[in-house]
Amino acid sequence: MPYMMAGYPDRESGLAVAAAYVDSGADLIELGVPFSDPLADGPTIHDAATKALDGGATLGTTLEVCRSVAEQIPVVLMVYSNMVLAHGGASGFARLARAAGAAGAIVPDLPLGEAEDVREAFTAAGLAMVPLVAPTTSPERRAQICSVAHGFIYVVSTVGTTGERAEVPASLAGLVAATKADATTPVAVGFGIGTAEQAAEVGRIADGVIVGSRLVRAAGEAGSPQGAADAVAGFLSDARVALAG
């Protein structure tokens, strides 16, 4: 389940990366909506958002990427609260997202307790609201989050923002097992997974593995839309081999 930032490093590269994800046999695309102040993201994705915005990216840029691949693969938008508010609120935003073919949305700054109205509006529009579970989430709260999840549950592997880490925390297996026990949807893991080997390690315990910053970095360093597509396809192919092995 690869992540990408729309409009990064430019509009064409974003479209090329999404197409490469489809061709590489990804199960789902997590599509980042560029936002000026992404609190849950580390430096790599924050910088990518800043560059995308400097390059003129709008919500329209994201929805264009979504539209280009949504018939071939489920697309889940990663979008911050203020972007939802600014585009017609939860109902208005959900209509825009559904019209572009999005299957779901993750709102990383809308935790249980704040998310209820938005989830209701998303659900009514047919947009699944994917919640997050963190290592610091209490067992009672985790059960509540799982009981209202749509689509899948996003387990945050580690305490911190998005970004590559040297290793997968030892406590992750326990957290995934506990979440699976509460969940009626698939359980995917993200944050900090930066190598094919780490992806394989997490793939053995979770239903899905999200790779973000590593792929964003590859797309950014490539220098051309084709280069970006080749770079991310190379990583996904390595990950696939590692997962099979």
Report the catalytic residues. 30, 41
Q: Please provide residue 31's backbone torsions phi and psi, each rounded to the nearest 5 degrees.
A: -110, 110
Of 118-147, binders to another protein (CB under 8 A) are 131-138, 140-141, 145
65, 13 contact by CB (below 8 A): no
User: What is the SS3 assignment for 105?
Assistant: strand
**Site for another protein, residues 74 to 93, rule: CB under 8 A:** 80-87
Cα–Cα distances (Å) from 66 to 30, 47, 105, in that order, read 10, 21, 12
Tell which positions 203-232 bind another protein, by CB under 8 A.
Answer: none
Q: Figure out which of the listed residues 23, 114, 117, 221 binds another protein, where binding follows CB under 8 A.
A: 114
Q: Which of 1, 18, 102, 156 binds another protein (CB under 8 A)?
A: 156
Q: Which of 19, 24, 27, 53 binds another protein (CB under 8 A)?
A: 53
Q: What are the E-state strand segments in the chain?
A: 3-5, 29-32, 75-78, 104-106, 128-129, 132-133, 153-156, 187-190, 208-209
The reply to whether 166 sits near another protein by the rule CB under 8 A is: no
159 binds another protein (CB under 8 A): yes
Q: Write the CA distances from 112 to 100, 117, 133, 148, 151, integer angstroms.
A: 26, 11, 10, 9, 16
Rg of the chain over CA atoms, in angstroms?
16
Question: Site residues for another protein, window 11-30 (CB under 8 A)?
Answer: none
Rule CB under 8 A: say whether 116 interacts with another protein. no
> According to the binding rule CB under 8 A, does residue 169 interact with another protein?
no
Min CB(144)–another protein separation in Å = 9
Which residues sit opposite 209 in a β-bridge? 189
Supply the DSSP symbol for 116. H
Q: How far is the CB of 142 from another protein (least distance, A)?
A: 10
Residue selected from 20, 63, 110, 168 as contacting another protein according to rule CB under 8 A: 110
| Residue ranges that bind another protein, judged by CB under 8 A | 35-37, 39-40, 42, 46, 50, 53, 58-59, 80-87, 108-114, 131-138, 140-141, 145, 156, 159-161
